[in-house]
Amino acid sequence: MLACFAGWRLFVAESVINYHEFMSTEGPSNFIRDIIIEDIKSGKYGGRVQTRFPPEPNGYLHIGHAKAICLDFGLAAEFGGKCNLRFDDTNPSKEETEYVNAIMEDVQWLGFQWDGLYYASDYFQQLYEWAIQLITAGKAYVCDLSADEIRAYRGTLTEPGRESPYRNRSVEENLDLFERMKKGEFPDGSRTLRARIDMTSPILNLRDPVMYRILHMDHHRTGNEWCIYPMYDYAHGQSDSIEHVTHSMCTLEFENNRPLYNWFIEQLGIFPSRQYEFDRLALTHTLLSKRKLLKLVEERHVEGWDDPRMPTLSGMRRRGYTPEAIRNFCASVGVSKTNGITQLQQLEYFLRQDLNRIVPRVMCVQKPLRVVIENYPDDLVEEMEAINNPEDSSAGTRTIPFSRTLYIEEDDFREDPPKQFYRLAPGREVRLRYAYLITCKEVIKDSSGRIVELRCTYDPATRGGNTPDGRKVKSTIHWVSAAHALSAEVRLYDNLFVKEDPNDVAEGQDFTANLHPESLQVLHDCKVEPSLRDAAPGTKYQFERLGYYCVDRDSGQRLVFNRTIGLRDTWAKIEKRATTGA
């Protein structure tokens, strides 16, 4: 336990260091940044820096993409360069305009603005012409092998590949067949265009990779203009080159694609973009794969792409994350050349840090317990002054009505208080935040024995929570006035997956087996202070002593809040330790 605690402290200290590093004008150092500095020094690319962020519009962006965005846009900005947003839309079967729009919204929300906005599909004609150039030079050929056959011919890491029987077609025949592929004369999958490189290369990607396949399918932008579509490897490097991208950053799984990226650029003699790979972000208790997130949406395990439990930027936005928190987190994880796993707590640390700084404090009682102050006048309502944000004096103060009947949190009362429980109990005095000290005199129960009301008294000399005689109370609890409070729904979220690694499943199962059955808990009868009456969707608060919350877009006549993240609750920890013996 002690070691674990020490580890946590160490981690927090490190994050703070990274955070400050990030905030300095220099930017956090990393190997890609070092390469850029070298390139600028040596005058490569004339000292110019051009990057791009190249999402495939086949899903919504997630926190992993945020890391890439911060790097692509951040490095360009740091060195006075430019960053394009380019949709890598070469696969019409999975791409949609809905995703294009969502991606643009999310990039801007995160705080970045692209210089050029492009689509790989803008380059279909150019890519086609380059393919003809490669065929003419004897460097590409039309192959009639099926996808399975191509795979079988390719060989393995230990076995060389075999040459396709179609590899030695004449240039004329290749040009004719490719033209007819384009015209739509052949069915899907019947032919491909392949680069003619080396079937014995130790690099599998260089064993005559496929450049084009036939796909009779409408494209979200080019409609039915094309029925041949370029493969990722044939499109990506050349798209970078067309945009004169100097430093093309992508994740480590593309390391093996780099030789091919370079091969096409060299054969075509076009602008020499270069690719650099960095580690992919992975977070505990969540999944960062559009394909898997799509499955959660399609199978209705979540409400949609912007479900507040999703690691998508739209889900995180709805949950109450700020762009600053996400950017600071991305800076803290840095970039490296080996993949690792980052604790979700690290993200939550930066979230709390930012919210603590900016959001107003208000009072909400999640599980209301009625309190009647017997010696408080029946018809009196006092306005208590409350501080909006102790971290920000410019946020000012507001008033909260106080009256004879209040709600406090059910959890803040114990009829038979255990050791170390310092909140309200029979005969005990506690402070009501910004109001008075009260003492519990009597517990009222219904016929089933459930506690339904507490009878208390207050000390009129303690207004504002001060004790003129200097007597101490061990606890301050939050409350709302029953007659003035507004009803609200509060949605409490927990991790979407129970296991740190959601992919850790028994044979025959998939990651959905690890879904957390109680990742969403809805409280229907919460009470919030009246100042929240007109709270607009997206507005963020700290509910005192409970955590950070934000108004959901479902909020209207009836207020609906999402719990963004809890405060660290010391009592819950003590109690858990007591019950689990941990």
The catalytically annotated residue of 139, 280, 295, 370 is 280
279 binds Mg ion (CB under 5 A): no
Chain-centre distance for alpha carbon 84: 21
Question: Residues near 394 by Cβ (< 8 Å), separated by ≥ 6?
Answer: none
Catalytic pick among 52, 290, 319, 404? 290
Tell me the three state secondary structure of residue 226.
coil
Beta strands in 117-167 (DSSP E): 117-119, 140-143
Q: Does 258 help bind ligand ATP (rule: CB under 6 A)?
A: no
Q: Residues 196, 285, 290, 309: which binds ligand ATP (CB under 6 A)?
A: 290
Respond yes or no: is residue 280 known to be catalytic: yes
Of the candidates 80, 82, 63, the one whose C-alpha atom is nearest the C-alpha of residue 72 is 82
Q: Which stretch binds ligand ATP (CB under 6 A): 6-14, 219-227, 264-272, 283-291?
A: 283-291
Single out the residue of 30, 222, 251, 267 in contact with ligand ATP (rule: CB under 6 A). 251
Stretch that binds ligand ATP, among 286-294, 389-397, 421-429, 533-541 (CB under 6 A): 286-294
Closest CA to 552 of 488, 494, 496, 497: 488
Minimal distance, residue 387 CB to Mg ion, in Å: 48
Residues 6+ apart with CB under 8 A from 307: 297, 315, 318
User: Are the CB atoms for 285 and 292 separated by under 8 Å?
Assistant: no
Q: According to CB under 6 A, which one of 32, 102, 214, 281 is a site residue for ligand ATP?
A: 281
Q: Which does 68 bind (CB under 5 to 8 A by kind): ligand ATP, Mg ion, none?
A: ligand ATP
Nearest one of 205, 204, 209 to 159, comparing CA atoms: 204
DSSP 516-533: -TTSEEEEEEEEE-GGGT
| Region binding Mg ion by CB under 5 A among candidate stretches 48-56, 69-77, 405-413, 428-436 | 48-56
Of 404, 390, 470, give the one whose Cα is nearest residue 435.
404
Q: How far apart are CA 326 and CA 112, in angstroms?
A: 13
Residue matched to tokens 């019947």: 190
Residue type present at position 175: L
Q: Which stretch binds Mg ion (CB under 5 A): 22-30, 53-61, 279-287, 464-472?
A: 53-61
Q: Which stretch binds ligand ATP (CB under 6 A): 65-73, 128-136, 154-162, 559-567?
A: 65-73
CA angle, residues 119, 120, 122, in degrees to nearest 5? 70
Rg (CA), the chain: 31
Sort 383 into a burial class: Cβ within 10 Å, 0-12 / 13-18 / 19+: exposed
Considering beta carbons, is residue 49 or 68 the nearer one to ligand ATP? Answer: 68
Residues between 170 and 189 with contacts to ligand ATP, criterion CB under 6 A: none
The catalytic position among 21, 44, 48, 56 is: 56
DSSP secondary structure code for residue 402 in this structure: E
Check binding of 96 to ligand ATP (CB under 6 A): no
Residue 67 in the binding site for ligand ATP (CB under 6 A): yes
Cβ contact 371:336 at 8 Å: no
Q: Considering the complex, what minimum distance in angstroms separates the CB of residue 112 from ligand ATP? A: 13
Task: Using CB under 6 A, pick the residue from 28, 64, 237, 360 that binds ligand ATP.
Answer: 64
Q: Which of 33, 65, 191, 219 binds ligand ATP (CB under 6 A)?
A: 65
User: Which two tokens mark 45?
Assistant: 């690319």
* 391 noted as active-site residue: no
Restricting to residues 394-423, which ones interact with ligand ATP according to CB under 6 A? Answer: none
Is residue 290 annotated as a catalytic residue, yes or no?
yes
Rounded to whole angstroms, the Cα distance separating 343 from 300 reads: 26
Report the first-to-last Cα separation within the chain, whole angstroms: 8
289 binds ligand ATP (CB under 6 A): yes
Can you point out the beta strands (E) in 459-546?
A: 476-477, 479-481, 486-493, 520-528, 540-543
90 vs 481 by CB, closer to ligand ATP:
90
For ligand ATP (CB under 6 A), the number of binding residues is: 15
**What does 280 interact with, of ligand ATP, Mg ion, none (CB < 5 to 8 A by kind)?**
ligand ATP
d(CA 403, CA 383): 9
Residue 398 half-sphere exposure toward CB, CA atoms < 13 A: 14
Q: Residue 128 Cβ, how far from ligand ATP at the closest point, in Å?
A: 22
Q: Does residue 235 belong to the site contacting ligand ATP (CB under 6 A)?
A: no
Check residue 56 for interaction with Mg ion (CB under 5 A). Answer: yes
333 binds, among Mg ion, ligand ATP, none (CB under 5 to 8 A by kind): none
Tell me, by CB under 5 A, how many residues bind Mg ion: 1
Which does residue 289 touch among Mg ion, ligand ATP, none (CB within 5 to 8 A, set by kind)?
ligand ATP
User: Which residues lie near Mg ion (CB under 5 A)?
Assistant: 56
Enumerate the active-site residues: 56, 280, 290
Binding site for ligand ATP (CB under 6 A): 54-56, 64-65, 67-68, 88, 250-251, 280-281, 288-290
